A and B are shown apart, each in its own frame.
Chain A
Amino acid sequence: MNTLTDNAIMLKVKAGELDLMGLLFQRYHRQLYGFLFHMTYQKEASEDMVQQVFYKMLKYRASFAGTSEFVHWMYAIARNVLKDQGRKKKLTMAGIAVDELADVIPGGVEVNGQIERKQAAQTLQKAMAKLKEDDRDILSLSRFQELKHGEIAQIMNISEGAVKVRVHRAMCQLKEIYTRIER
């Protein structure tokens, strides 16, 4: 079973082998959690949303066509869940003071010479938190989830050219906020 592709597994789930969703959960729940966490910076809310995403994938399994990658479908659903949550209550960074972020986000392993970079990463983290949701969304997918522009285009249902422009704009925004905090 472990050698099956994501799409093959999801198609089996669609055909009624619901238990196989467990395999996909094992493969992707960390990654999905990471994405949702970088969008909300709330651990419990992110965990709840991971459950919701998997629940929705079960419930709407019939809508999985198998023509595109499972991961893209998963992120598209995750983004919808985020939107729903955002509508219900402002789940965005607006509620969290940026200075509190250091408590929420664990530091990396401190190896000699890396302390400086870790500090840079922390500043960047603060800058990320101040980004607009759309910008953070596209940077999360591109940088943290390491998705190609073409894949993001599929998830967001926009053209690849538009993705390139938006990633670049988000990077510019990030740079602006970052240099402001640095100073």
Chain B
Amino acid sequence: MDCEKYEELFTGWINKDISPAEREKLEKHLATCNGCREELAFMQAMWTDMGEIATPEPSAHMEVKFRAMLDTFKTQEAEKFSFKNWLGNLWQMQPRWPMAYNLAVILVAFGFGFWAMNKGTNNQDKGQLQELSAQVHELKQTMVLAMLENPSASERMKAVSYTSEMKHADDQVIEALLSTLNNDPNVNVRLTTLETLSEMTRYPEVREGLIRSIKGQDSPLMQSAIADVMLKLQEKKSVGSFKELLKQKDLDNGVRNKIEQTISHLI
């Protein structure tokens, strides 16, 4: 009946984790109890066999992962530490009462500001609206500039017509339009550009650009179209350019006549 008490000592006996007194007690019992001797022998065999159970090796990249984890942890700690220090220093730097007073003043100022802002909401709305429309305008310009680079002629024409919708064009847009006027391979695009630019002649740089482009145009269509625009504008400065155009030998006869007429009208 007592066997149960002794059995609890078995594992201690097997792995030599037992006090001398308990050991003696158990061994005395074993000498007299067959059942316990057999049980202990079985347990011991099992204990030994358990030692044969293999454990797989951890993979080699475990240490790499550990190093990475350690590095991340170190940086996190460093950040936390420096932030704490910074806060601490801020508090230590000045005597506390003035600091607290400053904080109070800041809070009051914020409160007042908030109140004042609420009162002036209408003004603020207007300001925001203006800012917003400015942003939209800027967006439009960017879009037009990008479209002017488009390989499709119809897209470029669309871009040019968009610019005529703009209330005010800035230097960048004008420059892009003039460059299209002079360099675009498609005559239709150039014609549309000329049409758009003729609406923008209030800008001096547009007028100058148009005059400069007279000499560069080789298509009769463009040449006569520019002549029309100059006549409409009564732009006397363009006469020089037209005279130079007349010097070209391969100038279309119809265009030659038209330009001569234009010059006589302008003078």
Contact = CB atoms under 8 A, between A and B. Distances in A.
B70 A43 contact: no
B21 interface: no
B56 to A, nearest CB: 5
Nearest to A170: B11
B52 A121 contact: yes
Given A22-B67, A142-B11, A29 B62 contact: yes
B49 A124 contact: yes
B59 A105 contact: no
B69 A168 contact: no
A68 B47 CA distance: 28
A165 B5 CA distance: 10
A18 B72 CA distance: 11
A34 B55 contact: yes
Please report whether the interface of chain A is mostly helix, strand, loop or mixed according to DSSP. helix
Nearest to B81: A16
Contacts of B43: 171, 175
B83 interface: no
A50 B10 CA distance: 32
Interface string A125-148: 100100000000001001110101
B10 A171 contact: yes
Given A43-B56, A121-B53, A165-B8, A19 B47 contact: no
B66 A54 contact: yes
Given A30-B57, A143-B47, A25 B52 contact: no
A144 B53 CA distance: 9
A34 B55 CA distance: 6
A167 B53 contact: no
Contacts of A55: 69, 73
A21 B49 contact: no
B168 to A, nearest CB: 61
Interface in B27-60: 42-43, 46-47, 49-59
Report the contact-size class of chain B (Cβ under 8 Å from the partner).
Answer: 20 to 34
A106 B54 CA distance: 6
Interface in A49-102: 50-51, 54-55, 58-59
B35 to A, nearest CB: 14
B235 interface: no
A58 B73 contact: yes
Interface residues of A, number: 51
A151 B77 CA distance: 32
Contacts of A143: 47, 50-51
A164 interface: yes
Given A29-B66, A121-B49, A175-B46, A50 B55 contact: no
A56 to B, nearest CB: 11
Contacts of B55: 33-34, 37-38, 144
Nearest to B61: A47
A29 to B, nearest CB: 6
Contacts of A37: 55-56
Nearest to A25: B66
A41 B74 CA distance: 32
A33 B46 contact: no
Contacts of B73: 18, 55, 58-59
Given A18-B73, A124-B46, A142-B11, A149 B17 contact: yes
24 contacts: A21-B70, A25-B63, A26-B63, A30-B58, A34-B55, A37-B55, A46-B58, A47-B58, A51-B69, A54-B66, A58-B70, A105-B54, A105-B56, A108-B52, A114-B52, A120-B52, A121-B50, A124-B53, A128-B50, A139-B50, A142-B15, A143-B51, A149-B17, A174-B46
Interface of A: 18-19, 21-22, 25-26, 29-30, 33-34, 37-38, 43, 46-47, 50-51, 54-55, 58-59, 104-108, 114, 117-118, 120-121, 124-125, 128, 139, 142-144, 146, 148-150, 164-165, 167-168, 171-172, 174-175, 178
Interface of B: 7-12, 15, 17, 42-43, 46-47, 49-59, 62-63, 65-67, 69-70, 73-74, 77
